[in-house]
Structure 1
Amino acid sequence: MVYKFRVILDAEEDVFRDIAILESDTLEDLHNAIVNAFGFDGLEVASFYTCDDTWNQEDEIPMFDSGDIPGENKIMSDYTLDAVVDAENTKIIYVYDFINMWTFLVELAAIEETEEVGVIYPNLMFSHGEMPAEAMEKHFVSDLEEEENYNEFEDDLDEEDLDMFSGDDSFEDYGFEENWN
């Protein structure tokens, strides 16, 4: 079977590529197809991330095993596409170059029963938009729940709590000796 993916760059302008690839190919094969389709040199580290239907990132699938014990972690080459995506789970996230954080939303758009005669897979089927000079800047924000938990303590603070020493550099009131270590 042939999986047809739309790979969308997280950017202000519409930039995407449609890639056809065999279901038995690995995530590493898809990684290479994305690198080639978007014109990267392929020298940077990348990862795929499983996600839910609303693109909330879940488990990482890296290029290389960075665990303490060799072979402990599964990597891109260990997963065939049909083991990660299917008709029910159609979305994964791809991040290339962890310095610049080129982020792509990868969605399975179609599953076709037969391969086209004369086509070499993976196959770049369609290309739209030009790559920007730089990756879009990411703004990381804490979850609302975490923010509420943090802010709940602000109401309980008074000025003495904020000024730990109250003008006195002594630790005597806190049970510490001057040379405690």
Structure 2
Amino acid sequence: MIYRFRVILDTEEDVFRDIEIEQDATLEQFHNVITQSFGFDGTEMASFYVSDEQWNQGEEISLFDMSDGSEPVRLMNETTLIDVVHEASPKLIYIYDFLSMWTFLVELAEIAEYENGMEYPNVMFIHGQIPDAAPDKEFKADESGSFDEGNDNEFLNLDEYDDLGFDENWN
């Protein structure tokens, strides 16, 4: 079977790609198609996250194993699309370049039959131009102390380092 995805850049402007790929392709193969279709060189760290209907970030599936070995990490090259995406769970979040935080919402739009003569993966449709820089993200603690986007709490101003409670000549 073929999975048809809409991959949307999380930005104010409409920027998305519609991609067809085999259901048994690895997430690493999908990562490569996404980066190429948006014009990235693919050399930065990236992860997929399983998501629920409200786009809450779940389990991470990483490009590389950066763990300390205490907990197993799912890797893109060992995980197929059909392992994590299906009609009951059609959404993923994809983060590319953790310094810039390019964030994409990935949704399974359709499951289709192979078309004879078609090569997969296939970028079916391109809409919008990617901006020069990743959209700004604000990560602020909510009332429970966990971090989330868009909360109205103030960040600590690091220019006011005198109030941080450490000796500035610590080294």
Q: TM-score, normalised by structure 1?
A: 0.77
Q: Which residue of 2 aligns with 1:49?
A: 49
Residue ranges of structure 1 left out of the alignment (5+ in a row): 148-181
Counterpart in 2 of 1:35?
A: 35
Following TM superposition, by how much is the alpha carbon of 1:59 offset from its aligned partner in structure 2, in angstroms?
A: 1.1
The answer to whether 1:135 aligns with 2:139 is no
Q: Is the 8 A contact 2:28 2:77 kept in 1?
A: yes
Change (3 A) 1:72 1:59: closer
Shift of 1:10: 0.5
Measure the CA separation in 2 of the matches of 1:2 and 1:71.
33
Structure number with greater Rg is 1
Give the Cα–Cα distance (whole angstroms) in 2 for the partners of residues 109 and 93 of structure 1: 15
The answer (yes or no) to whether the contact 1:50–1:60 under 8 Å persists in 2 is yes
Structure with bigger strand share is 2
Helix, strand or coil at the partner of 1:141:
strand
What percentage of residue pairs aligned between the two structures are identical? 53
Q: Which amino acid is 1:132 matched to? A: P
The corresponding residue for 2:4 is: 4
Match runs of 1:105-144 below 5 Å: 105-112=105-112, 114-144=113-143
Q: Residue 35 of structure 1 aligns to a residue in which SS?
A: helix
* Residue 72 of structure 1, CA deviation: 3.8
Amino acid across the alignment from 2:114: E
Taking the aligned partners of 2:71 and 2:121, their CA distance within structure 1 comes to 27
CA RMSD of aligned residues (A): 1.7
One-letter code aligned to 1:104: F
Which sections of structure 2, spanning at least 5 residues, go unmatched?
A: 147-171
Q: Secondary structure, in 3 states, of the residue corresponding to 1:77?
A: helix
SS of the residue 2:82 aligns to: helix
- Residues 128-176 of structure 1: per-residue CA shift (max 9 Å, x gap): 00010111000112223438xxxxxxxxxxxxxxxxxxxxxxxxxxxxx
Please, what TM-score do these two structures have when normalized by structure 2?
0.81
1:17-65 Cα offsets, whole Å, 9 max, x none, are 0000000001111100100110101111100011111001111111011
**Superposed structure 1 runs of 4+ greater than 4 Å apart:** none
Q: As a proportion of its length, which structure holds more helix?
A: 1
- The Cα of 1:70 is off from its aligned counterpart by 10
Q: Which amino acid aligns with 1:140?
A: F
SS of residue in 2 equivalent to 1:61: strand
The 2-side partners of 1:136 and 1:49 are apart by 19
CA distances 1:95-154 after superposition (whole Å, capped 9, x unpaired): 000111000000000001x2111211110000000010111000112223438xxxxxxx
CA contact (8 A) 1:65 1:71 kept: no
